[in-house]
Chains A and B, each alone.
Chain A
Amino acid sequence: MISRQAECCFWMHRQVERAENAARLLAVNRSFILDVAQPEAQQWWPIVVVTGEQERIRTVLGDDAATQGDAIQDYLTWNPDNPVSIYSSIRWARENARTVREVISLEMWETINGFWHWLTRGQGRRLYNEDVDAFYRRVRDLGSTFSGTCHNTMLHEDPFDFMRLGMLLERAGWTARILDVKHHMLGPMEDNGPASPLESAHAMALLRSCSATEPFFKQVQHAPTPRVVVGFLLFAGNFPRSLLHCLDRAMNFLRRVRPESGRTGARSMALLGDLLDDTNSLSLETVFERGLHTELTRIIDSIAKVCDAVSADYFHPDIGQLTAGGQQTQSQSQG
């Protein structure tokens, strides 16, 4: 498929995934701070850290930004200048969808376009003001609807594969970042004993942030100690938001989009392959030996490198090299 269209597909689904994760994280935190007494400045700041918006939000809300819970939520939800606000994510997802309108299905277009109008023509804002949890629920539902519509109405070929690839890499990144922000609140990981009430609350919030509560109990049948929860979110290959699952599925789609012959796609394939192998061979013990934060940082950086490589391999190919390589060209240089 055309490189630019592939890029739009990749980002479109990625941005919907981003909005969905942000909505879930915000909603979970709202209920979490009701359960657990925390200093004001620690209630919402960790969420800002997950989105990487610490610097910009200080310029908008001032140095005491951390204590302004409502303003933080508003900033992460509605601010058009915040590139990762829910508003911006939906806007860019819809703009990408509009740009490749001829590539995606009618149903996908109507899903994202309808949601955009809902969000920006009054109804969305009204719901946010009246029942903010219901609002975040709507955003999460969009994620599911969009993903399901994509799966059920697109041909399962290149455009679909690039959408899934973008969505999965985004999701892997969220799981890693959410874990990273929560890790220092989780208490000593070496300890296999029963968790304190606060640790349990954090562990539960962590599960909820990844829609993992019920899957966790079904599979693990164990009290949610921080250590077990971290293991589940990293390595439960059958849980669709675990790091391992996301990377494994992403690898599948990367294989599918790669041409059968030639060098195209070699770099992104190698990088993701390495990351997947590492993750597969990693044990929970090793993770804690090296330090959870160190490991998560490495993983987050690796995911970013994979995304860059996908972009270089598929979205912005070097024409000079390609014409010299000459696959599918009928130029004279091929003789």
Chain B
Amino acid sequence: MASDSESNNDGGGLFEGYQPLAGAFDEFCAMDGSPRPEAVRVVERLDDLGRRAFMERQRLADGSFLKAGVTFSVYSDRGGVERIFPFDLVPRIVDGAAWDRLEAGLIQRVTALNLFLQDMYGEQRILAEGKVPREIALGSSGYLEAMHGIQPPHGVYIHVCGVDLVRDPNGEFLVLEDNARSPSGVSYVLENRTMMKRILPRVFSESRVRSVDAYPARLLSAFNELAPEPRERPRVVVLSPGPFNSAYFEHSFLARRMGCDLVLPDDLFVHDDEVFVKTTHGPTRVDVIYRRIDDAFLDPEVFRPDSMLGVRGLIRAYRAGNVTIANAFGNGVCDDKAIYPYVPEMIRFYMSEEPIVQQVPTLICAEQDALEQVLADLGNYVVKAVDASGGYGMLVGPTSTKEQIEEFRARLKENPRGYIAQPLIELSTCPTWTSSGLSPRRVDLRPYVITGRETWVLPGGLTRVALREGSYVVNSSQGGGSKDTWVLEPDSQEDSP
């Protein structure tokens, strides 16, 4: 529909007067405001478009998301409200060569995390050799006694991993945290891409962007490969908590794109250690469950005897090897923020390799020295609860008030095991459309890593952007938006052999 083919420099060039933020790495521009080599082409195309046409297209995109129902729910006192995830039309770009290195690092990291889980629910060699402190690992709220002795098909625990990355002022990608339980957001990656192709076809087609279309097929292949026993056509279902869940759109989207059924806990039941779904033709056996429900609500037999939620007997069926559950139970022990500092050690221990991608230096408040160091200088740290996510339960010292800092000090003293502290990383910025034209806003990046018989990384991932000026918090629940992430192939002269 939208044609951006003619140059229509109405209202001035988009990048005119764009000023990067001092002290942060800008994804598009060097400090003097000139575009980075990989950004030149995109900047030219967007400049050609002009401000007025750009604004018109932004409006079109917002309307389309609403019409298509690409929304998430925000919880408030008055119940769920549907909103679109604010979408910024300026893409985030990643140079192809930098991406290749990152991809190798992500595969390495997820492999190590998976080996760690195998070990934790097996021999626990890494604890025996003192590479990870026993009390931190076994004390993690994500550690699940019931997983001991269960061998998931092909030893895969983390079928889908979302690794949150940030970029420091030198442009170095750093891992900020791992999401090995049920990372969300990939539907926005695919929807954002569809939108960009429709709204800015010319900018897109001239930029040689790596495709993200393969994701659903890759995911389904991984599930098929890991079905309990060779089945001609394993029955795969997506298990969602239901339409009131904030990520329901995504659950439904993935089911649709994989061509499998979306089920809620009540649709499933266990009989003789096998899992069945209730259909209009009677019960039908289920082979693989891609679950988007937290451990605690999966099986009342094991987790919460008082809970009405979940599928009674699911863990028994899992233990009997009759169903594959993705991601596995008990993964919370590997993405616990207090375990995170030991991931580089895991890579060395299990793989005898050095980490390819670095991570943020982290102080574990459970350790007395570290706690004192943090308390002495609380205003300069970012403090996070080890078992929280979504931007909740954290203190960003440098942008907080005295009262907030003091309140957090009390919480920290009361439960040091519950927190870690990191220096504030000056997150990289990306040009983002605001009421006063393009302005630098901070971004992070969540690539998605799928593991079946082998491990595959979706090129790009979800770029989240802190839309409020000066903000470091990119979560959708807290004023964040998203961008399409473009991994760019090198220019064509390098194509020929």
Contact = CB atoms under 8 A, between A and B. Distances in A.
**A and B associate:** yes
A1 B283 contact: no
B279 A102 contact: no
A117 B277 contact: no
B202 to A, nearest CB: 25
Given A331-B272, A333-B272, A102 B280 contact: no
A1 B282 CA distance: 9
Contacts of B271: 319, 323, 329, 331
Interface string A14-32: 0000000000000000000
Contact of B281 (A99, A114, A264, A331): A264
B255 A102 contact: yes
B282 A264 contact: yes
A278 to B, nearest CB: 26
A317 B278 contact: yes
Interface stretch (A2-10, A137-145, A289-297): A2-10
A4 B277 CA distance: 10
A59 interface: no
Nearest to A260: B281
A110 B280 contact: no
Given A3-B267, A98-B69, A102-B252, A329 B285 contact: yes
A325 interface: yes
B282 A117 contact: no
A196 interface: no
Given A3-B267, A4-B267, A325 B282 contact: yes
Interface stretch (B17-25, B109-117, B256-264, B482-490): B256-264
Contacts of A3: 267, 278-280
B243 A322 contact: no
Interface residues of A, number: 36
B36 to A, nearest CB: 38
Contact of A328 (B249, B252, B267, B285): B285
Interface in B350-393: none
Contacts of B67: 110, 113-114, 117
A109 B66 CA distance: 12
Contacts of A4: 263-264, 266-267, 278
Contacts of A129: none
B453 to A, nearest CB: 26
B284 interface: yes
A259 interface: yes
Contacts of A102: 252-253, 255-256, 261-262
B68 interface: yes
Contact of B274 (A110, A162, A331): A331
Interface in B254-309: 255-256, 261-264, 266-267, 269, 271-272, 274, 276-285
A327 interface: yes
A333 B269 CA distance: 16
Nearest to B263: A2
A113 B252 contact: no
A2 B261 CA distance: 8
B277 A2 contact: yes
A323 B261 CA distance: 21
Contacts of A162: 280
A328 B266 contact: no
B282 A327 contact: yes
Nearest to B279: A2
Given A6-B280, A99-B243, A101-B256, A319 B269 contact: yes
A5 B242 CA distance: 12
Interface string B470-487: 000000000000000000
Nearest to B251: A102
B69 A5 contact: no
A221 interface: no
Contacts of A2: 261, 263, 267, 277-280
A335 interface: no
B284 A328 contact: yes
Interface in A234-281: 257, 259, 262, 264
In this complex, which of B252, B255, B282 has the most chain A Cβ atoms within 10 angstroms of its Cβ? B282
Nearest to B255: A102
A145 B485 CA distance: 37
A213 to B, nearest CB: 35
A192 interface: no
A319 B267 contact: no
A335 to B, nearest CB: 12
Contacts of B282: 259, 262, 264, 317, 322, 325, 327-329
Contacts of A53: none
A331 B322 CA distance: 12
A101 B261 contact: no
A333 B276 CA distance: 15
Contacts of B264: 4
B367 to A, nearest CB: 47
Contacts of B274: 329-331
Contacts of A259: 280-282
A2 B263 CA distance: 8
A158 interface: yes
A117 B66 contact: yes
Given A259-B281, A329-B282, 15 more contacts: A1-B279, A2-B278, A2-B279, A99-B242, A101-B256, A102-B256, A113-B67, A259-B280, A259-B282, A262-B282, A317-B282, A322-B283, A323-B276, A329-B283, A332-B272
Interface of A: 1-6, 95, 98-102, 109-110, 113-114, 117, 158, 162, 257, 259, 262, 264, 314, 317, 319, 322-323, 325, 327-333
5 contacts: A3-B279, A100-B262, A101-B252, A325-B282, A333-B272
